[in-house]
Amino acid sequence: MEQELYQLVERLAGGGPLTWLILTALAGLLSFVASGVASFLTSKIRRFASPSPSLWNRVAVDSLEKLKNAVLFVWFFYLLSHTFLESPKALKIIHTVTVLTTVAQLAIWGQHGILLWREYYLRQKFTKDKSSAAAMGLLYASAQGILFVTLVLFGLSNLGFDIRALLAGLGVGGVAVALAAQNILGDVLASLSIVLDKPFMIGDFIVVGPQMGTVEYVGIKTTRLRSLSGEELIFSNKDLLESRIQNFKRMFERRVLHTYGVPYSTPTEKLKQIPDWIKAAIARHPQLRLERCHLAKFSDSAITFETVFWVADPDYNLFMDLQQKVLLEIRDAFTAQDVQFAYPTQSIFLHGSS
């Protein structure tokens, strides 16, 4: 009995038709069982994950569903071949087929993973930001390129090719391309920085140095603003991020500083009452919050009062309307108390000789 088993093993290891038939049958059976287990696990995960599956549940389910039966067959055939086959040529062929099949399966998983990343991360993160569309496409294309290069290098390495020279060539080529297109790459990276860091979004009113306008478009290379006078302003993304940007859309309230001057001839009692008149004018408007109001200094031609208050709304039209009302009410109060506003004057005193 032992002799017969030994002869059977020798015949199988010889790689005859019977060996290939048995390997095919066993690999087919194992892949069928593994496929059934994957389907069972998929149904269980779907049942527990409903009605709102998380990202990781989606990854687990999709990974199992994207696992091809042919790939399972090749993997099991590869494992069994090292047990039953001794022919180096046959093993090399099986190894090559397994590597190519594995690379194809990893490409399927990787491509789907990138799609999930775009759907769950990028789309949710930039749903309200139309400026992210161009950078989102760039990030998606970059991820696909990295996946493709990684899989090619992985496949070549496992097929026995020396990829060190290829990596060195890619490094030198990458440096050359980066040096040749450093300005373009700088703008591209700046575009990604704008989308990820969000110093401004489409619709924001920003000031960049002497230029100001509403952001209309954020592209891979340039950002475009519509100025107050109507023309389009185009900025390089790199130059834009290197400048100081004032974003008025993110202003929650506006600070207002007013100064009022009255003549030196104004009586002291009325000077003491002026802050109360100003505070009363501001207090009539619930959108305003007084910070301070004081006699600030003795100027050259007037006694100066300084007032600081806040408008609890960033809307510019509302700010101007309220400021106008406060100024008119202060003028009415000054007129009612017979207090004049100072204007620049200069007095000349002449001393005659005796």
Q: Are residues 15 and 121 both part of a single domain?
A: yes
Structure tokens at 113: 């993973």
Q: Are residues 34 and 118 both part of a single domain?
A: yes
Which among 102, 125, 148 is the end of a domain? 125
Mean pLDDT, the chain cut into blocks of 10 residues (354 residues total): 47 59 81 82 71 65 78 82 74 83 85 77 58 63 79 79 66 56 67 76 86 85 86 86 84 89 92 93 93 91 93 87 93 92 75 57
Judge contact between 35 and 1, C-beta under 8 A. no
Q: Are residues 165 and 240 both part of a single domain?
A: yes
Q: Is 217 a domain residue?
A: yes
Q: Are residues 242 and 261 both part of a single domain?
A: no
pLDDT of residue 137: 65
Q: Are residues 63 and 96 both part of a single domain?
A: yes
pLDDT tens per residue across span 297-306: 998 889 999 9
DSSP string over 70-92: HHHHHHHHHHHHHHH---HHHHH
Q: Report d(CA 263, CA 340) in Å as an integer.
A: 7
Work out whether the CA dihedral 116, 122, 125, 126 comes out positive or negative: negative
DSSP string over 190-229: HHHHHHHH-S--TT-EEEETTEEEEEEEE-SSEEEEEETT
pLDDT tens per residue across span 43-56: 777 776 655 566 66
Q: Is 347 a domain residue?
A: no
Q: Could you tell me the pTM of the whole model?
A: 0.50
Q: Are residues 117 and 171 both part of a single domain?
A: no
Residue 297 DSSP SS3: strand
Taking each helix axis as running N to C, give the angle between helix 55-65 and helix 17-49, from 0 to 180 degrees, rounded to the nearest 10: 150
Residues near 112 by beta carbon (within 8 Å), at least 6 away in sequence: 62, 66
Q: Are residues 110 and 217 both part of a single domain?
A: no
Q: How many CA atoms lie within 13 A of 259 on its CB side?
A: 10
Q: Report d(CA 8, CA 342) in Å as an integer.
A: 117
Judge contact between 43 and 66, C-beta under 8 A. no
Place of tokens 């687990």: 60
Q: Which domain holds residue 212?
A: 160-250
pLDDT of residue 297: 92
Q: Is 345 a domain residue?
A: no
94-112 residues labelled b (16+ CB within 10 A) or e (exposed)? bbeebbebbbbbbbebbee
Q: Is 145 a domain residue?
A: no
**β-bridge partners, 259:** 306
Give the CATH number, domain containing residue 293.
3.30.70.100
pLDDT tens per residue across span 112-164: 887 877 777 655 655 555 555 556 666 777 777 788 888 888 787 777 777 66
Q: Are residues 240 and 289 both part of a single domain?
A: no
Structure tokens at 119: 């759907």
Judge contact between 113 and 60, C-beta under 8 A. no
Structural domain count of the chain: 3
pLDDT of residue 8: 47
Q: Is 144 a domain residue?
A: no
Q: Are residues 244 and 294 both part of a single domain?
A: no
Q: Is 188 a domain residue?
A: yes
Q: Is 299 a domain residue?
A: yes
Q: Are residues 111 and 56 both part of a single domain?
A: yes
Q: Is 58 a domain residue?
A: yes
Q: Are residues 173 and 271 both part of a single domain?
A: no
